Amino acid sequence: MRKHSMPILQRCRGWQFLSLTPKAVKALMSGLTSTVFHTLFSLMQKLAKFLLTKELSLCVGICFVVNSYPPVEEFTPVLAKIYAKLKEVGEKFEVVAVSLDSDEESFNNSFSSMPWLAIPHGDKMCQKLVSYFELSDLPTLVLIGPDGKTLSSNIADIINEHGLDAWEGFPFNAEKLEILAEKAKAKAASQTLESLLVTGDVDFVIGKDGAKVPVAELVGKTVLLYFSAKWCGPCRAFLPTLVDVYNKIKEKNSDFEIVFVSSDRDQSSFDDFFSGMPWLAIPLEDERKAYLKKKFKIRGIPSLVAIGPDGKTVNTDAKTSLAVHGADAFPFTDERIQELEKKIEEMAKGWPEKLKHELHEHELMLIRRPRPYGCDGCEEMGTSWSYNCAECDFDLHTKCALGEEKKGEEVNGQEHAAAPAGYVCEGDVCRKA
């Protein structure tokens, strides 16, 4: 039995932080050494039961992990720092990792960097926990209270949002979360470009050939943080559009810049992708990247976040604003986007709400498009409006549906688009003659 108990205790690196009473130690050891027929799993069961004893009054985090999965790789070091901080201030908190790695080597690699406990690789309990907690996302950190009841199905989102500051929210009840929210508001109110892009002595971004550009030179400008990577197909497809918009904005506004925040996996890919960009970047191996991704909750790429001249965040979805409005979206503020949206609404006045078209068997409805879409007529991208069949997911540009852009006759003081040849418009519907 000794050969089983010793490795487990050696791997439980968090134990030295627990306030173990002599009675508790005796209870634990008697459970570990009572019979040679205990399996590794039964030992872990006893460890789990011990963690939840009233004597310790521990909160336990069940952390689902997968080695080499980027969101988990970014999350684990932050959790480790929070774990250490909670131990430092005397909070009763322990973590048990549930590995979903397909092979034991991957499990060992991921577990070697964790300062907490883990259920053995391949144990059936791992899948049971996945089913019980209806796991749908990674990372997931389930919080169990001292009474064994679930306090939260996932506090990973809280940690991703607040970073190391999340330790102040423990045990993440409503009162503590309100404190975290107030602190986050205060941080946002005092946000500057330097607070985002300067860490310790690292106070620069890079230009071509690795030339260092002081962050101070960007202060007072509208800055787009461009989250992207070469391996991402949509990122490669979006890049030419962004370069075109960048050049158009720079022609009229020198107080504008883009900073590339890469998710590339190696220096060669980073260098190759960055070579096609006329703007600046954060170096590939730079801890600021992970911080920015967490701060702005980047869940997919490409993404654009707009920072105003005062250093405050003005638009967390500037990509959509840019894709719909192009260079006109600058400076990406709510006021500017609302102004453009109003123009788009005016544009549709006089267009029929419904029509029939020879390219599709069903009636098409005029709908507002908040994001770019593909036209099934000319096969080009479109924005703002389309004539759509929701049943078939069919779209036509307004110019494809209504013919070449022509000025219609003015009726009751409003300009109406002329119906395309072969069509008759009656009320809100246009039909083939």
Classify residue 28: in a domain, yes or no. yes
- Flag whether pLDDT at 146 surpasses 60: yes
CATH of the domain at 240: 3.40.30.10
Asked if 326 and 384 sit in the same domain, the reply is no
- Flag whether pLDDT at 130 surpasses 80: yes
Structure-model confidence comparison of residues 98 and 421, the more confident one: 98
- DSSP secondary structure of 73-139: HHHHHHHHHHHHHHHHTT--EEEEEEE--SSHHHHHHHHTT-SSEEPPTT-HHHHHHHHHTT--SSS
For residues 171-175, give the mean pLDDT: 88
Nearest Cα to Cα of residue 351 among 276, 283, 403: 403
- Which residue type, as a one-letter code, is found at position 411? V
Do strands 394-396 and 381-389 pair parallel, antiparallel, or not at all (unpaired)? antiparallel
> Quick check: bond before 171 cis, omega within 30?
yes
Structural domains in the chain (count): 3
For residues 187-202, give the mean pLDDT: 89
- Flag whether pLDDT at 2 surpasses 70: no
Look at residue 20 in the predicted model and tell me its pLDDT. Answer: 34
Asked if 242 and 299 sit in the same domain, the reply is yes
Asked if 127 and 93 sit in the same domain, the reply is yes
- Flag whether pLDDT at 419 surpasses 80: no
Classify residue 419: in a domain, yes or no. yes
In the three-class reduction of DSSP (H, G, I as helix; E, B as strand; rest coil), residue 202 is classed as strand
Asked if 286 and 427 sit in the same domain, the reply is no
- DSSP secondary structure of 41-69: HHHHHHHHHHHT-TTTT-EEEEEEE-TT-
Look at residue 126 in the predicted model and tell me its pLDDT. Answer: 85
Structure-model confidence comparison of residues 333 and 111, the more confident one: 333
Look at residue 50 in the predicted model and tell me its pLDDT. Answer: 53
Please identify, among 186, 203, 236, the residue that sits at the C-terminal boundary of a domain.
Answer: 186
Q: How many CB atoms lie within 10 A of CB 149?
A: 7
pLDDT confidence of 56, banded at 50, 70, 90? low
Q: Kindly report, residue by residue over 350-373, the tens digit of the pLDDT.
A: 889 899 898 999 999 999 887 788
- Flag whether pLDDT at 405 surpasses 70: no
Cβ–Cβ under 8 Å, residues 313 and 188: yes
d(CA 319, CA 301): 10
Asked if 170 and 247 sit in the same domain, the reply is no
Please identify, among 155, 186, 217, the residue that sits at the C-terminal boundary of a domain.
Answer: 186
Cβ–Cβ under 8 Å, residues 55 and 23: yes
Task: Return the bridge partners of 93, or none.
Answer: 59
Residue 146, both tokens: 């001292």
Classify residue 342: in a domain, yes or no. no
- Flag whether pLDDT at 428 surpasses 70: no
Q: Kindly report, residue by residue over 224-282, the tens digit of the pLDDT.
A: 999 999 999 999 999 999 999 999 999 999 999 999 999 998 999 999 999 999 999 99
d(CA 154, CA 143): 7
d(CA 360, CA 396): 10
Domain residues for the domain of 285 are: 193-335
- Flag whether pLDDT at 417 surpasses 70: no
Classify residue 126: in a domain, yes or no. yes
Q: Which of 34-38, 68-72, 181-185, 410-414 has the highest mean pLDDT?
A: 181-185
Mean confidence (pLDDT) of the chain: 79
Angle between helices 40-51 and 22-33 (to 10 degrees): 160
Classify residue 56: in a domain, yes or no. yes
Asked if 156 and 25 sit in the same domain, the reply is yes
- Which residue type, as a one-letter code, is found at position 256? F
Classify residue 307: in a domain, yes or no. yes
In the three-class reduction of DSSP (H, G, I as helix; E, B as strand; rest coil), residue 422 is classed as coil
Classify residue 379: in a domain, yes or no. yes
Q: Kindly report, residue by residue over 197-217, the tens digit of the pLDDT.
A: 998 889 999 998 889 999 999
Look at residue 119 in the predicted model and tell me its pLDDT. Answer: 85
Asked if 159 and 12 sit in the same domain, the reply is yes
Contact partners, residue 21, CB within 8 Å, separation at least 6: 55
Asked if 158 and 91 sit in the same domain, the reply is yes
Asked if 306 and 286 sit in the same domain, the reply is yes
Cβ–Cβ under 8 Å, residues 14 and 110: no
Asked if 315 and 251 sit in the same domain, the reply is yes
Q: What is the DSSP letter of 321?
A: H
Structure-model confidence comparison of residues 10 and 194, the more confident one: 194
Asked if 145 and 23 sit in the same domain, the reply is yes
Q: Kindly report, residue by residue over 69-126, the tens digit of the pLDDT.
A: 878 888 888 899 999 999 999 988 999 888 888 788 878 877 777 888 888 888 888 8
Q: How far is CA 46 from CA 4, 27, 41, 52, 53, in A?
A: 13, 10, 9, 10, 11
Look at residue 48 in the predicted model and tell me its pLDDT. Answer: 54
Asked if 199 and 308 sit in the same domain, the reply is yes
- Flag whether pLDDT at 331 surpasses 90: yes
Classify residue 340: in a domain, yes or no. no
Least confident range of 11-15, 287-291, 321-325? 11-15
Please identify, among 122, 156, 186, the residue that sits at the C-terminal boundary of a domain.
Answer: 186
Give me the count of residues in the chain: 433
For residues 159-177, give the mean pLDDT: 86
